[in-house]
Chains A and B, each alone.
Chain A
Amino acid sequence: MSILDPILSFLSNPQFLSIIIAVIIFGIGYFVAIVIRRVVFKIGVRFYARNIASIVSKIAYYVILLIALSTALGYLGIELTGLIIAGGFAGIIVGVALQPLMASFFAGLYVMAERIIQQGEVVAIGNTMGEVVEVSLMFTKLRTFDGVLVTMPNSQLLSTVIQNYSKAVARRLEFTVSIAYSEDAEKAYRVIKETVDNHPYVLAEPAPDIFVSKLGDSGVVITVRVWVPRTLVYPVMKDLLWKIKKSLDEAGISIPFPQLDVWIKTPVTLKREEGSG
């Protein structure tokens, strides 16, 4: 009897062969999962954000790994039906328990895939306005213009109105200016137009729109609509109305304050008291 005989006998054992084949199945599955993960990431990153491509590629990786594991265990004769049923029940329980988190998770995937909002954009979500700091799978972080960091679950994004101010290359601003009825409206128009035309950040095309929009109680209301590069909206908002006001002042055009003429039916006699100024 050779010393190799027990080894050969062990190797020719059908159970051992099954284990070897199961390991090979799992190994192939593992290799395929790695390849699929890389391919999915490379393709995904061309069309979607990097983090979403990474998540999808990881999901594909674990799904293939799970299939490989169940196939390998099945080859060894381990019955997985009970495990799958138990896993299914556990999944339902965990899913119900983690429903808010899952809602945020899928909302995050949707927001990232659709690129509704992206890092660096200026948005208003509900009543919160600010710059997007981060969009992760579960939360979106906004930095408001007074420096507060607001973190909101992504599920909230799908149930509220999102205004994105960074999608257009230019935005239209609107101002209203009121001039007294006694003033020359055409002169006021010329003064406003000159101020608007001289402002470097007011776009020449589309051309500014200046028109009388209302004959108000106290004065003639002139509406000024201008287009401004998206990134310069705030500086122009601060600057332009102030410049219009100064130009009107310099041109001697008065901006009226609310006034009310009172007509008295019965004649009134005014008497000056002695000693009064």
Chain B
Amino acid sequence: MYGLVVKDSLEIGEVFIKVERFESYLKYRRSMRGDVKEVLLDRNAVVETRPIYSLFYPSYVTGYILVSFSKQVVISPKSSLRIMLQLPVDLAIYAYSADFYQLIDLIPLHSSYKYALYGPVISSVEATGYIARLVKEEPVADNVAEPLEKHCLARVLIVNKTQDFASVSKILLDAKPLKIFYIPETWKCYTQDIKMILNSGEHASILYEEKPCKECVELEEPEEFKGLLRTLSTEMLWGY
């Protein structure tokens, strides 16, 4: 669960977390498939779980997420359609006290972590565009869809501004401007609402819009994204 203060122990699948308090310090211990991590913290530290973009395991490579649809979404000219996507997230373990706030551990919640190139390969050898974390998802048009465990629900409004029918098979998201929200002590996680505007047969603009729900808590952005210049939209220049 997200936003859960780990006071004693926590078990998530194959992961076992134990927090032990001693007289002058606190010991965080996590074991996962034989891999053990231990961190010593000051006595007053609080250990808490948070969702985190699935971009930091095995290591941080890119801030882009390319969601590849398992089935195409076809939009008629000058119309729009709202779809729901489940974006995978991992579990971040944060420790904080009065004077510090730090990511101390990252627990991968998924079995496969792959990346893909969004962009053309010129002359078969020159790769251009963006490297993105590849996520294969089935889009659903159900407005009342709930976020699945280990996923964040993203509501995407696709607006077709062109004069032709448009088939959408992927969407490129930039995690830097895309905010994550969660409901504490649940597995419910949401991204802010997304608008995808199809400008032409090849070009789409992704805009990041409203907060998804009133009771949601906004996730503090990871260190990697702090202080970066960020755009408020993502341009898909090489097709959608």
Chain A residues within 8 Å of B, Cβ to Cβ: 168-172, 200-206, 227, 229, 231-232
Contact = CB atoms under 8 A, between A and B. Distances in A.
Contacts of B115: 200-201, 203-204, 229
A37 B113 CA distance: 52
Contact of B119 (A169, A201, A204): A169
Nearest to A172: B125
Contact of A229 (B58, B61, B118, B121): B61
B127 A171 contact: yes
Contacts of A205: 116-118, 134
Given A169-B117, A169-B119, A200-B114, A206 B61 contact: no
Interface string B95-125: 0000000000000000001111111010001
Contacts of B114: 200, 202-204
A170 to B, nearest CB: 4
A169 B121 contact: no
Interface residues of B, number: 19
B69 interface: no
Q: Which of A203, A205, A229, A232 has the most CB of B within 10 A?
A: A205
Contact of B61 (A171, A202, A232): A232
Given A206-B117, A227-B117, A168 B58 contact: no
Contacts of A231: 61
Nearest to A197: B114
Contacts of B130: 169
A186 to B, nearest CB: 24
Given A169-B119, A229-B61, A206 B134 contact: no
8 closest Cβ pairs, A-B complex = A205-B116, A170-B127, A200-B113, A204-B116, A229-B131, A204-B114, A168-B127, A204-B134
A229 B118 CA distance: 12
Given A200-B115, A205-B118, A205-B134, 10 more contacts: A168-B126, A169-B117, A169-B119, A172-B127, A203-B114, A203-B115, A204-B115, A204-B116, A205-B116, A231-B61
Contact of B128 (A169, A201, A227): A169
Q: Which of B61, B113, B114, B129 has the most CB of A within 10 A?
A: B114
B53 to A, nearest CB: 15
Contacts of B126: 168
A169 B131 contact: yes
Q: Which of B61, B62, B113, B131 has the most CB of A within 10 A?
A: B131
